[in-house]
Amino acid sequence: MTIAAALTFRWETPPATTVGRPVGARDRKPDPYVDIAAQLREHPGRWAAVAEFRPEGSPQNLVRAIRAGHTRSWAPAGAFEATRRNRGDKTVVYARYLQPQT
């Protein structure tokens, strides 16, 4: 078998790139709900409006994400309850942190 390149192993941080994402950059977007989830955790069982959507929005996606704990803010799954209600020309998403079982 012929190897096209010489194999080398050494611990080394790649040099900075001029194209694409810098070394060490985060792959994820910042979670916009970190502060909201933290406030809800401080008041278990208390409902709060966490987002408002115009008719073209998709509030049900946020409701599912909250219930399933899809982001670090809402984790673990089942820690938060969420629902939505139509209020005039918009839909409001409500959430609350459930008291942990002891």
Domain boundaries, the chain: 34-97
Q: What is the pLDDT of residues 29-55, one digit of tens each?
A: 778 889 999 999 999 999 999 999 988
Alpha helices in 4-98 (DSSP H): 34-42, 59-68
- Asked if residue 59 has a cis previous peptide bond (ω within 30° of 0), the answer is no
Closest CA to 97 of 14, 36, 54: 36
What DSSP letter does each residue of 4-25 carry, written as one string?
SS-------PPPP-SSSSPTT-
CA distance linking residue 88 with residue 40, whole number of Å: 25
pTM equals 0.70
**Would you state the pLDDT for residue 12?**
67
CA distance linking residue 96 with residue 80, whole number of Å: 6
